[in-house]
Amino acid sequence: MNALYDAIRTLFVDAAYEGTINFMFSYEFVVNGFLCALIVGPLLGAMGTMVVIKRMAFFSQAVGNAALTGVAIGVILGESYTAPYVSMFSFCILFGLLLNFTRNRTKMSSDTLIGVFLSISLAVGATALLFVSAKVNTHILDTVMFGSILTVNNLDINVLLVTALITAAVALPLYNQMLLASLNPNLAHVRGVNVHFLEYVFVLLITILTVACVKIVGAVLVEALLLIPAAAARNLNTSIRGFVVWSVIFSTFSCVFGVYAPMAYDLPIPSGGAIVLTAAVIFFATLLIRMVMPRFREAAF
Amino acid sequence: MQGPSIEFKNVNLNLGNTQILEDVSFSISPTTIHCIIGSNGGGKTSLIRCMLGQMPHSGDIKIKWGENRTIGYVPQQLEIDKTLPVSVVDFLTMATQRRPAFLGQSKQQAQKISDLLEEFGLTSKRNDKLGSLSGGERQRVVFAQAMVPTPALLVLDEPMTGLDVAGGEVILAAVRKFASDGGTVVWINHDIAQVNKVADKLTYVNKTIVLDGAPLEVLQTGVANKLFPTLSFNESSPDGDSAETTDIEVEGE
C-alpha cells in the first residue's frame, strides 16, 4: 500500500509544482491529510445516519474519551505515544462491549449507563496521565483530544483504510436489519434478525471507527462529525436515501474544506476544529432552509 | 399454502417474582383465525412473545409447519420518532429486502411493494414520512410489511388500535382472505363483537386459560356472561335467512 500512497503523493506534488493545482499540495503531509479526509468523510457521514437513528451519539463521545485513557495506558505499557493503536483499540473495544453487556443485563437507560462508564473511563485516564507525564510531554495528548490530520503517516492511513473496509463490509449488508431493529426490536426478531448480536456489531463498528478517526479529527470531535452531518441531512429529507446521501456529502465536504480552508486562507485553526465548524455551519444553514422554505418543512414534522 | 398448527402445553412464565402465565394449555388449528382475548395485563402479549421465542418460559409450545415457515407479525403500535426520515416505501423496503434501503429496491421488489401499497390503500402515501402518518395509516403500513414474503402464520397484536372504520375494514378483509387461502391467524383482539364475527376459535387468557372454544359456544357460558356483562344475544342471523346462528352485540355499539 505504501507504494500506492507514494504514487498518489508524487502525482499531487508534481501537479502542484507544475501549477495545475494549489501549491499547498507540494507538501506530502497535505496530500496525506486530504486522503484521510476523503476516507473519513463518507464513512462518518454514512455511519452517522445510523448513530442518529439509534440515538447513540453520546456513546461515540464516550468511546472518544475512552481513547484518551487507551493512549495513557499504551504509553505506560511502552507503546509509541504517536500511534498507540493496540492499547486504544483494546481498551475502547473492551469499554464498548462491557457497556453494551451491562446495558442488556440491567435494562438501565443508555444515557445513564454511558454517563457512568464515561466518568469511570475519564477517572482511569486522569489517574494514568499522572504516570504518563513522567514519561512524555502530556501536550502530545492534544493530538488525541483534537486531532492532527496533517501529522498522519502511512500507518495511520492504513489503519483508517482497513477500518473503512471492515465497516463497509459489515454495515452495508446489515444496514436494513439494524434500522429495523432500532425501529421495533420485536418485529425485527420475528423477521429473523438477531437483535442483541446486531447491537454488539454496531457498538464494535462505532468503537473501531471512532478510534481510527481519533488522530484525524480528535477524540473530542469525532462524535461531532458522526452526529452533525447526519443531523443536518435529517433537517432536509423525508427519505432514507436523501438522509444517507446528504449526510455523506455534508460530512465529506466538511472534512475536505476543514483541511483546505485553514491552509488556503492562513487561518490559525486546527484541522479538527475547522472540520467540525464547517459541519456546524452546514447544520445551521439547513435549519434556516427548513424554516424558510415550505417544501422542506415536512422534514421537521 | 398450509398454515401451521400450534400447541401450547403447560406453559408457565415468571418475570421476577410475578407469575405472568400459569399452566396454559390450548391448541390452535391450522388455517383458522384464532383470537386471544383477555383483560389488560392478563398475559396475552407475553403468551404470543413466548410463542415467537422472545421470552424464556417453561412448558412446550409446538408449531407444526408445512413447507412455508414464514411468520408475519403486526405489533400493537409502531412507536417511532416522528422526525425520522424514513418514508413508507423505505420502511417496507428495509423490512423485506437485504440491499440497503438507501440504495433503492430491485425491480421485482419495487413491484411487490407497489402492489402492497395499492392493496392497503397507501399508494398516495408511498413517499410520506412514516412519522407523519396517522396512527391508523401507520398500522396499515405495518400490516402490509407482514404480508411480504407471504407468511404461513400471521400474528396480530391488536392491529386495529387507532384504525378508523375504513382502515379496519381493509385489514379485516386481508385477514379473512389470508385465512381462506390456508394461512393460520393468531390475533390478540379486545373487540369482542369483532371476535365473534371473524374468529373460528377464541381463547380468553387471564394468567391461565379462562375460556377456550368456538365463539358462539364459549360466549354463551356463565363465565362469559360475567366477563362480558354488556353482551346480548340475538337469535337471528344478520342476513335474516336462518335462525340457527346467534349474533352477539355489545350494548352501546
**Which residues of chain B from 92 to 111 reach within 8 Å of chain A, CB to CB?**
93-95, 97-104
Report the pLDDT averaged over residues B113-132: 91
Rounded CA separation A131/A201 (Å): 34
Please give the residue that has the higher pLDDT: either A40 or B82: A40
Q: Cell 337471528 sits at which residue? A: B236
Tell me, what's the pLDDT at B160?
83
pLDDT in tens, A64-80: 888 888 888 888 888 88
| Cβ <8 Å between A186 and B84 | no
Out of B90, B101, B132, closest to residue A301 by CB: B132
CB contact under 8 A, A240 and B94: yes
Residue-level pLDDT at A138: 67
B80 contacts A183? CB cut-off 8 A = yes
- What per-residue confidence (pLDDT) applies to B106? 85
Chain A residues in contact with B50 by the CB 8 A cut-off are none
Which CATH code, of 3.40.91.10, 3.40.190.10, 3.40.640.10, 3.40.50.300, is assigned to B1-70+151-253? 3.40.50.300
Which residues make Cβ contacts (< 8 Å) with residue A192, sequence separation at least 6?
Answer: none
The whole-angstrom separation of Cα A70 and Cα A67 is 5
Residue-wise pLDDT tens digits, A108-159: 888 889 889 988 888 888 888 788 777 777 676 777 777 788 788 899 899 9
Measure CA of the first residue to CA of the last residue in chain A; give whole Å. 47
Q: Which three cell numbers stand for residue B207?
A: 394468567
Q: Confirm or reject contact between A173 and chain B (CB < 8 A).
A: yes
Residue of A50, A56, A239 to mutate for B, most B C-beta atoms under 10 A? A239
B150: left (phi over 0), alpha (psi -120 to 50) or beta: beta
Domain positions in chain B are 1-70+151-253, 80-148
Q: For residue A153, what are the β-bridge partners? A: none
Write down the ipTM of this complex.
0.83
Q: According to the model, what pLDDT value does residue A108 have?
A: 82
pLDDT value for B90: 94
Q: What is the pLDDT of residues B47-91, one digit of tens each?
A: 999 999 999 999 999 999 998 999 999 988 787 888 889 999 999
Assigned CATH for A2-216: 1.10.3470.10
Asked whether A298 and A238 are in contact (CB, 8 A), the reply is yes
Find chain A residues with C-beta within 8 A of B95's C-beta: 176, 180, 187, 191
Selecting from A176, A183, A187 the residue whose C-beta is nearest the C-beta of B73 gives A187
Enumerate residues 25 to 54 of chain A having a beta carbon within 8 A of any beta carbon in chain B. Answer: 53
Question: Count of alpha carbons within 13 Å of B145, Cβ hemisphere only?
Answer: 27
Residue of B nearest to A52 (CA): B84
Comparing CB atoms, the residue among B53, B78, B100 nearest residue A172 is: B100
Please report which residue ranges of A54-107 form alpha helices under DSSP H: 57-76, 85-106
User: What is residue B252's predicted lDDT score, i.e. its pLDDT?
Assistant: 45
Residue at B203: amino acid letter: T
Nearest to B199 by CA among B184, B210, B209, B221: B184
